[in-house]
Amino acid sequence: MLDHIGISRGVLVQPVVYGTNCGALLKALKSHPERLRGVALLSPEVTDAQLMKMDRGGVRGARFSQPPPGYTAGAVGFDVLAALAPKLVGLGWHAQIWAPCAELESIVTRFAPLGLQLVVDHMGGIDTERGVADPNFQSLLRLLGNSQYNLWVKLIPNRVSLRYPDYEDVAPFHRALVAANPERVIWGSDWPHVHTQRDIPDAGHLLDLLYDWAGDDACRRILVDNPARLYGF
């Protein structure tokens, strides 16, 4: 997929279907150590030795989520993040977080003071029908624009849109996030779309939309400079 759309480096995020067994992730990272980095799912019992092995293998973050009830078995919650936060900070890893947009402010203000870099997944779980004036989205913009929170947002329009295939309902939110802090947004395709049963996105088209909505200069930051800093390429 990366070759097909012309991307030289990528980040693999551990799917919840594997639980906290990161064997497949580490094997994939080992096959392309210069090209790939990873984000893992961690057990609360993970050892320092296991974390160091993951770090040497290219892992640069761990994901924590509070998905809708019954949506995803195997997710690792924020109670585990609270326990592991000092270890993540010591490794220089970030925490990738997924929660409803209305709950992000309380989560960010809880964990950012610990020195963690936080990556908000899926564009903050926005509700496009509420519009960009939605107080929850405006709160996310303020958090992103405030350097004290050390916050990043991952742009994945297909995960929050109701309008396949051009996702035009997401465009104003996308532009607002980029404008709020172009040095703190990154892009994701969500490929291979393991939870999507219909209207499967085309990764190349998603990349075209990024250029249409953000422009060449911002895209250089989003696709090259920002992820190089965050993931240690």
What stretch of H or E contains 63? strand 59-65
Residue 98 to residue 108: CA distance in whole angstroms: 11
* Residue 141 tokens, joined: 């913009």
Catalytic residue among 190, 199, 212, 217, which? 190
Q: How far apart are CA 10 and CA 68, in angstroms?
A: 28
User: Number of H helices and number of E strands within the chain?
Assistant: 10, 7
Please confirm, yes or no, whether 190 is among the known catalytic residues.
Answer: yes
Contact 161, 199 (CB under 8 A): no
- Annotate 103-159 with three-state secondary structure: HHHHHHHHHHHHCCEEEECHHHHCCHHHCCCCHHHHHHHHHHHCHHHCEEEEECHHH
Phi, psi of 61 (to 5 degrees): -170, 170
Neighbours of 137 (CB within 10 A): 24
- 133 by DSSP, 3-state: which? coil
Beta bridge mates, 62: 40, 95
* Residues 195, 155 contacting (CB under 8 angstroms): no
Please tell me what DSSP assigns to residue 67: P
Active site residues: 190
